[in-house]
Structure 1
Amino acid sequence: MFLSRLLDPVKTAAREAGAELWRLYQSGDFQQQQKADLSPVTSADLAANRIIINHLSELTPNIPIISEESHLVPLAQRQDWPRYWLIDPMDGTQEFVARSGDFAVSVALVEYGWPALGVIYWPKEDIMYYASRGNGAFKQQRNLINRMKVNHHQAGDTLKIAISRRQPLQPIVDLLHSTEHVEYIALGSCSLKSCLVAEGKADCYMRLGPTGEWDTGAVHVIVEEAGGKILDSEFTALSYNQRDTLANPDFMVMGQASIPWQQLVKSRPTQRNLTA
């Protein structure tokens, strides 16, 4: 009941933040800077961040918030939090700047170390992906709502792999035991590629390179409720709120559980990206 009561207000917050991102995207009225890790941040990220934090602070004043665009509370102060909000006000800032439209708002609630509620809003397509633990995953486009399930992949079917528009393909190819019967689907935004797996349009998404826990929090519950998994490059579960930097290891978003993933994708030692 607690999660159910939160879902609609969180969707509203994500939609309002997305509307502001879309307004700034269309007008071009934003400023761009570089963060310490050389990744881009814009005034649009910060505007969306304020909108979401204002909504969540009013909705649940006693639940703390972690955001990519806010000061990170030291681990010693947050490691015992029973629950907290985990947000990325704009996942896909590079796509925003590059004018592809492939950027999204991401909001998750983490309970006792595991994502319990997730909302992803894609302003360009007016698509909302959302899930709460035990209640299924859904895609809403305007007034049409469909329950999501990962693709029913059968032996011999083409394996559809979501890839980044802006990263080289070869490192992904090198992770595959075979490149026969493989199709690559390019899209921006880490969360949107993960949602491709959740809605069955891709079978897998392999992420190499820096990400933070805010990049996976919301999609983690969405993918799992759709029947998939998110695992690191050694096929072990991701963890939340256990590191100083909240940096993720390389990870894989995998669809149908019956696919022999370890026969298709090479395992390799997990590398923590400490600057994410």
Structure 2
Amino acid sequence: MSSVDIELIKKIAIGAAQQILKVYNSEDFAVETKEDSSPLTKADRLSNDYIVKELQENYADIPIVSEENEAVDYEVRKKYTRFWLVDPLDGTKEFVKKNGEFTVNIALIEQGSPILGVIHIPVSGKTYWAQLNEGAYCEGEDGVQKLCCEEFKMSDENLSVVCSRSNLNEETKEYIAKLNNPQTLAKGSSLKFMLLAEGEAHLYPRLSPVMEWDIAAADIILREAGGRTVCVSNNQDIVYNNGQDMRIPSFIAYAKKMINP
């Protein structure tokens, strides 16, 4: 599939997490505000610097698009056939709240689709990963486990629906309210996807904009676990690097959805 070493990418994610934890466990916790009103910390920068350095040293021929790098002009970026898509600290709001619900996300995009993804949780030390057609896995205190989504029908009662802890809007609330007595669970960062991949939840609707780097690594992990992430506008898989601002208007992530009888 690829000459990329998934074990090396996992190590890079873990190394970035160590940079994050230096800040998380210190008093150096200043928070800035970016132009889009989202928070930025020293940990975002340290993690990004580490990831970029390691990827450039090991894969000099693959360009990098990261939330914390200077934006790449679309006229240049649209020519990329393969590139790294990185969120060095996904869930900065959760990082600032010190609730542990933040991750390091590294994905490899090829021809508009994620073909490799690694997500690491700095606080718990748990790592998730997937490669195209090779399954999805996680490693924690219990060793390595293969991930498999739970099967469900949209008409089922008591579906477990994951929602954003920091970005739950009215449209998403209305979508959830139409389900059959759903049970909701708030979670930060890409951990929402991982609950689906682990078989602990069924749906994650996000009916508000999100950036591609927020979900790319989680998308391939969920796909390889048997789930799917689709654009609300056309019910099709998300195509990455498909526009000027790398913004996804809205999506729904599903575990292994069955067709209603």
Deviation of residue 207 (structure 1)? Answer: 1.3
Question: Structure 1 residues 112 and 179, CA, compared in 2 at 3 Å: closer, same or farther?
Answer: closer
Q: Distance in 2 between matches of 1:59 and 1:115?
A: 19
Determine the structure 2 residue equivalent to 1:166.
166
- State yes or no: 1:126 paired with 2:128: no
Deviation of residue 166 (structure 1)? Answer: 2.5
Deviation of residue 168 (structure 1)? Answer: 4.2
Q: Is the 8 A contact 2:160 2:185 kept in 1?
A: yes
Which residues in structure 2 correspond to 1:96-135 (within 5 Å)?
A: 96-135=95-134
Identity of paired residues, percent?
34
Question: Structure 1 residues 167 and 211, CA, compared in 2 at 3 Å: closer, same or farther?
Answer: closer
Secondary structure at the aligned position of 2:248 is classed as coil
Specify every segment of 5 or more residues in structure 1 that has no aligned partner in the other structure, as ranges.
264-276
Deviation of residue 181 (structure 1)? Answer: 3.0
Instruction: Give the AA of the match of 1:151.
Output: E
Q: Distance in 1 between matches of 2:59 and 2:29?
A: 30
Q: Distance in 2 between matches of 1:232 and 1:90?
A: 24
Cα deviation, 1:55-82, whole Å, max 9, x if unaligned, reads 1011101110000000111111121211
Instruction: Give the AA of the match of 2:118.
Output: V
Cα deviation, 1:85-118, whole Å, max 9, x if unaligned, reads 0000000000001111100000000011110000
Q: Distance in 2 between matches of 1:233 and 1:28?
A: 42
| Equivalences, count | 259
Determine the structure 1 residue equivalent to 2:2.
2
Q: Is the 8 A contact 1:162 1:187 kept in 2?
A: yes
Determine the structure 1 residue equivalent to 2:223.
224
Deviation of residue 194 (structure 1)? Answer: 0.9
Deviation of residue 169 (structure 1)? Answer: 6.6
Determine the structure 1 residue equivalent to 2:203.
204
Deviation of residue 44 (structure 1)? Answer: 0.7
- State yes or no: 1:17 paired with 2:16: yes
Deviation of residue 167 (structure 1)? Answer: 3.6
Instruction: Give the AA of the match of 1:172.
Output: T
Q: Distance in 1 between matches of 2:57 and 2:256?
A: 38
Determine the structure 2 residue equivalent to 1:257.
257
Secondary structure at the aligned position of 2:151 is classed as coil
Secondary structure at the aligned position of 1:15 is classed as helix
Instruction: Give the AA of the match of 1:239.
Output: V
Which residues in structure 2 correspond to 1:1-276 (within 5 Å)?
A: 2=2, 5-142=4-141, 144-153=143-152, 156-168=156-168, 170-176=170-176, 178-189=178-189, 191-234=190-233, 235-260=235-260
Q: Is the 8 A contact 1:158 1:182 kept in 2?
A: yes
Structure 1 range deviating more: 32-41 or 159-168? 159-168
Q: Distance in 2 between matches of 1:179 and 1:244?
A: 34
Question: Structure 1 residues 25 and 259, CA, compared in 2 at 3 Å: closer, same or farther?
Answer: farther
Instruction: Give the AA of the match of 2:64.
Output: I
Secondary structure at the aligned position of 2:16 is classed as helix
Q: Distance in 2 between matches of 1:142 and 1:58?
A: 31
